[in-house]
Amino acid sequence: METGGGYRYSMLIHAATPAPVLGGRPAASESHPTASQGPTVKPKIDVSSMNFFYGANRVLENIKLAIHPNQVTALIGPSGCGKSTFLRSLNRMNDIVPGARVEGSIRIDDQDIYASSVDVVDLRRRVGMVFQKSNPFPKSIFENVAYGLRINHMTRSREELRGRVESSLKAAALWDEVRDRLHASAMSLSGGQQQRLCIARALAVEPDILLMDEPASALDPIATQRIEELIYQLKHRYTIVIVTHNMQQAARVSDVTAFFWLGKLVESDRTEKIFTAPTEKLTEDYVTGRFG
Ligand SMILES: Nc1ncnc2c1ncn2[C@@H]1O[C@H](COP(=O)(O)OP(=O)(O)O)[C@@H](O)[C@H]1O
Ligand SMILES: [Mg+2]
């Protein structure tokens, strides 16, 4: 990638179709802070002995994964292996599913997020989420971003609200495209712009973790590239966990990749290692396209 030669791991990913090189990426040595951060860096999210059930059906089994701050962690694996369920368990989105139950421990900043003392509304503010299908409110661009600030009483004046909307739109790389039509309907934006608006809406309430479930899978290649570039910038301020069924995307945007298969976490490691020299045969078979 950094050398301008397409995918970083094209040796293993033979199914890759050439894609444009992302702009502004740092040198390879900077893009994998995992190794240099060493074992002393505390995980932002620490999952252990986690099981997840829908009714009697166990869909995640004995998951152990530490997710580090200011990195992008990609969750990959075949459809139905539990990626979305895992992601949603990190901000308790699954709570609303009748019969859903989680066992084990999920800690964020050393706090058990399933403890009875946890304020779930505040948890979801701190752990923002962006979905596959962009879901702006049928309101203006401005009001979409202002919404969370208003309901959380996060600004004290009209000026401050405007400032926060602007900085969120800038952080989501959308400001330049919408600054002259902030009061137009969000529905008038393109698919890619709507997705960046949803990212701006999530960022407005100052989360420190951003969960993204296949955020670009409904977008065209150019819009996808913009989202990937944005993810790359955002990781300097946020901890990002992204589900993707697109292995090239995982290779491009993530520092760490976790491979799920049939409800189990087969292997997680630096993305480079997962795509070039995975430990498990199953991982190698999957990333080389032998099944999935
Ligand atoms: N709301 C739900 N109720 C019952 N089963 C579900 C629900 N959501 C997902 N599942 C099941 O849980 C398993 C994991 O699904 P999911 O987390 O969506 O996987 P992935 O995102 O990897 O495709 C699948 O067998 C799926 O059918
Ligand atoms: Mg899914």
Q: Which ligand is nearest to the CA of 77?
A: 1
Can you list the positions of beta strands (E) in 55-148? 57-67, 72-76, 100-108, 111-112, 127-130
Query: Token digits for 142?
Result: 């401005």
Q: Where are the domains of the chain?
A: 34-135+206-287
Q: Which ligand is nearest to the CA of 59?
A: 1
Angle subtended by helix axes 141-151 and 191-204, to nearest 10? 20
Query: Token digits for 222?
Result: 């150019």
Query: Token digits for 84?
Result: 């979305």
CA distance 49 to 59: 13
Question: What integer pLDDT is reported at residue 37 of this predicted model?
Answer: 53
Phi first, then psi: give them for residue 182, nearest 5 degrees.
-65, -25
Among protein residues, the one with the nearest Cα to ligand 1's atom 14 is 82
CA of 265 to the centre of ligand 2 (A): 15
Question: What integer pLDDT is reported at residue 146 of this predicted model?
Answer: 98
> How does strand 100-108 pair with strand 239-243?
unpaired
Under 8 Å between Cβ of 72 and 235: yes
Query: Token digits for 26?
Result: 């740092």
CA of 85 to the centre of ligand 2 (A): 7
Taking the mean position of all CA atoms in its chain, how far away is CA 143?
24
pLDDT by residue for the chain (292 residues), tens only, comes to: 333 334 455 444 433 333 333 433 433 333 444 544 555 689 999 999 999 999 999 999 999 999 999 999 999 999 999 999 999 999 999 999 999 999 999 999 999 999 999 999 999 999 999 999 889 999 999 999 999 999 999 999 999 999 999 999 999 999 999 999 999 999 999 999 999 999 999 999 999 999 999 999 999 999 999 999 999 999 999 999 999 989 999 999 999 999 999 999 999 999 999 999 999 999 999 999 987 6
CA of 169 to the centre of ligand 2 (A): 27
Kindly give the number of the ligand 1 atom that is closest to the alpha carbon of 94. Answer: 1
Question: What integer pLDDT is reported at residue 41 of this predicted model?
Answer: 81
Q: pTM (2 decimals)?
A: 0.88
Q: What angle do CA 116, 121, 127 make, to 5 degrees?
A: 100
Q: Which long-range contacts link 145-151 to residues 24+ away (Cβ below 8 Å)?
A: 145/169, 145/197, 145/200, 145/201, 145/204, 146/204, 147/201, 148/201, 148/204, 148/205, 149/204, 149/205
Among protein residues, the one with the nearest Cα to ligand 1's atom 2 is 54
Query: Token digits for 185?
Result: 């309907």
- Which of 24, 87, 55 lies closest to 236, judged by CA? 24
Q: What is the CATH number of domain 34-135+206-287?
A: 3.40.50.300
Return the residue matching tokens 């995640």: 60
Can you list the positions of beta strands (E) in the chain? 45-54, 57-67, 72-76, 100-108, 111-112, 127-130, 209-213, 239-243, 256-261, 264-270
Residues with CB under 6 Å of ligand 1 are 54, 59, 77, 79-85, 97
Under 8 Å between Cβ of 128 and 202: yes
CA of 83 to the centre of ligand 2 (A): 6
Question: What integer pLDDT is reported at residue 31 of this predicted model?
Answer: 40
